[in-house]
Chains A and B, each alone.
Chain A
């Protein structure tokens, strides 16, 4: 049985990437918590992971110069958040929601790191045999 390192790490790598992007968006939201007219953005973590598990619909290419379908493989769709309490200055950042989302994303990230660490440790065990 051939060991495919790509397959061994693929799902976790994507989870890390999405958590990474989400953290970046949430950091931007917190940074702009006092900026008038800033609209808070976020991604749907679960939806992005499910999308990763499915086969993407491919566009039919009948000519070698046709472009490949645009559905990006490593990025989730960014959405604007619907505010619970819209504020007068047009800002839709809710600091409490942002902090809880950041905490959640950090835990997800660390979980993925733990899984990856275990995979690496079992690989190492298989290689060294002790």
Chain B
């Protein structure tokens, strides 16, 4: 039934957005992480969203969303000369993470707004269902 499908759809959206919030939190937490080699430097992670069409129902196939995977940014980590740093390599360079704090903040706001929208949809359909249940009373 339609209104019950709404719970699945909104639930999938909330879970996908919370994965996005999780990656944002990891990225911001590691914004100042330092590594001794370019390969070991922290790279910012971003989830990739994908539509899941339910095969049953033809045109009315419910379209939920899932996280297809997490990709790591391929921006090269910046190389900073800090000879005194314990992790510095032989030439005295350390490698900073390639997290862009501004991008992450924007991502965080967008994810939280989308999460709120899904909660709103969920509440609306819950109210409608409850009112339908009390029909004729």
Q: Count residues of chain A with CB under 8 A from any CB of chain B.
A: 36
Residues of B within 8 A of A121 (CB): 136
Interface size on B, residues (CB 8 A): 37
Stretch at the interface among B30-38, B62-70, B79-87, B90-98: B62-70
A124 to B136, CA, bound (A): 9
A31 CB → nearest B CB, Å: 3
Write the A8-27 contact mask toward B (1 if CB under 8 angstroms, else 0). 00000000110011011111
Q: A78-B59, A99-B120 are in contact. Are A27 and B128 (CB under 8 A)?
A: no
Chain A residues whose CB sits within 8 angstroms of the CB of B5 once the complex forms: 24, 27
Tally of A-B Cβ pairs under 8 angstroms: 105
In the bound complex, residues from chain A placing their C-beta under 8 Å from that of B6 are 23-24, 27
Q: Does B117 contact A (CB under 8 A)?
A: yes
B128 with A31: CB separation less than 8 A? no
B71 to chain A, nearest CB (A): 12
Closest 3 CB pairs of A and B: A31-B13, A20-B2, A28-B63
**Further 9 A-B residue pairs, CB within 8 A, beyond A78-B60, A102-B120:** A27-B10, A30-B117, A31-B65, A31-B121, A33-B117, A34-B65, A35-B49, A95-B113, A116-B135
A-B contacts, 28 listed (Cβ < 8 Å): A17-B2, A20-B1, A21-B2, A24-B3, A24-B5, A24-B9, A27-B5, A27-B9, A30-B114, A31-B9, A31-B12, A31-B16, A32-B51, A33-B13, A34-B20, A34-B49, A36-B49, A38-B63, A75-B59, A75-B60, A103-B124, A106-B124, A106-B128, A110-B131, A113-B131, A120-B135, A120-B136, A124-B136
